[in-house]
Amino acid sequence: MPTPASNPVVAEVLRSGFVEGHHHGAVVALDADGEVAWSVGDVDSPMFPRSCNKPLQAAAMAATGLDLPPDLLAIACASHSGEALHVEAVRRLLDSVALDDTALQCPPDWPLEPRVRDDVLRAGGRPLRILMNCSGKHAAMLATCVVNRWPVESYLHPEHPLQQRIAATHARLTGAPAAHVAVDGCGAPQLSASLTGLARAFAALATARSGAERRVADAVRAHPELVSGTQRDERRLLERLPGAIAKLGAEACYAVALPDGRAFALKIDDGSDRARPVVMDAVLARAGVLPAPPPHDLLRATLGAGGTG
């Protein structure tokens, strides 16, 4: 995989007009025909898309007998904030196949949303598997196993029939088998892809006319608050781009696709989440999709004692 120094600077950190820091990264933009319109940095080497893979995983499950209403299919794609609406959706998904949260094999965690995490702490709560941001994906994996009569105890093993179906769908949508397989932070297999392959996969989802891919895309479009959270930049972006699909991933990955087939994917080398939404807004502004400059609420000006950034 490329080192941070091999990719160019895609964002700068300014303090009172002085460049205080840099973020290196890579970006790819595809035209409506799936060809690379332009790119910055290494967009062909394998990288781990992290949770950007979730819509691809959900498409594999939807094509393998998992028949969910749009809101529960959205939570299957989610890196959710752990808000009440997310926990309730995960419980409903598990209830639909007569399971509960003890079947989840993701690690216990606090809610991603700081306000919700603070509420849990004040109430004397503790980290729970269902609060972990990937619990919706794990619930969907369990449900897929139940409807196919596959073992649920080993659903995270790379050789499990579920994971084999996911790997096949991932290869088909990205255009190549995963060159690397790792263990993601939630315990599930993490499949690598190039940024170009990731963008092409999202374009395939966004332009699907029927089938599992269309169902997943429609779920993301209809329920951005379930895919992310009520306070998240991912939700705000989807609400500003009707018909688009978008998903972030850990270590500052981000993929967006428009209903006309144009698609964009980026990775910030140092994993900084502060650069991720700002760079994507700039990418979408360059494509003429969003106005330039990006909205002030994404510039994240930080005022110090002097009242200046």
Domain span at residue 8 reads: 4-68+157-298
- Predicted local distance difference test score (pLDDT) of residue 163: 99
- Predicted local distance difference test score (pLDDT) of residue 309: 47
Residue 167 domain flag: yes
Residue 211 domain flag: yes
pTM for this model (two decimals): 0.93
Residue 192 domain flag: yes
- Predicted local distance difference test score (pLDDT) of residue 184: 98
Which residue, 258, 293, 276, 305, is CA-closest to 79?
A: 276
- Predicted local distance difference test score (pLDDT) of residue 3: 53
Residue 304 domain flag: no
Quote the tokens at residue 142.
């369990």
CATH number at residue 187: 3.40.710.10
pLDDT in tens, the chain (309 residues): 445 458 999 998 988 889 999 999 999 999 999 999 999 999 999 999 999 999 999 999 999 999 999 999 999 999 999 999 999 999 999 999 999 999 999 999 999 999 999 999 999 999 999 999 999 999 999 999 999 999 999 999 999 999 999 999 999 999 999 999 999 999 999 999 999 999 999 999 999 999 999 999 999 999 999 999 999 999 999 999 999 999 999 999 999 999 999 999 999 999 999 999 999 999 999 999 988 754 444 445 444 554 444
Residue 133 domain flag: no
Residue 108 domain flag: no
Residue 62 domain flag: yes
Asked whether 263 and 55 are in contact (CB, 8 A), the reply is no
Length of the chain: 309
- Predicted local distance difference test score (pLDDT) of residue 308: 45
- Predicted local distance difference test score (pLDDT) of residue 291: 85
Residue 99 domain flag: no
- Predicted local distance difference test score (pLDDT) of residue 17: 85
| Concatenated DSSP letters of the chain | ---GGGSPEEEEEEETTEEEEEEEEEEEEE-TTSSEEEEES--SS-B--GGGGHHHHHHHHHTTT----HHHHHHHT------HHHHHHHHHHHHTTT--GGG--SPPB--SSHHHHHHHHHTT---BGGGSTTHHHHHHHHHHHHHHT--STTTTSTTSHHHHHHHHHHHHHHTS--S-EEE-TTSSEEE-B-HHHHHHHHHHHHH--SHHHHHHHHHHHH-HHHHS-TT-HHHHHHHHSTT-EEEEETTTEEEEE-TTS-EEEEEETT--TTHHHHHHHHHHHHTTSS-SSPPGGGT-----TTS--
As for how many domains the chain has, the answer is: 1
- Predicted local distance difference test score (pLDDT) of residue 296: 42
- Predicted local distance difference test score (pLDDT) of residue 304: 52
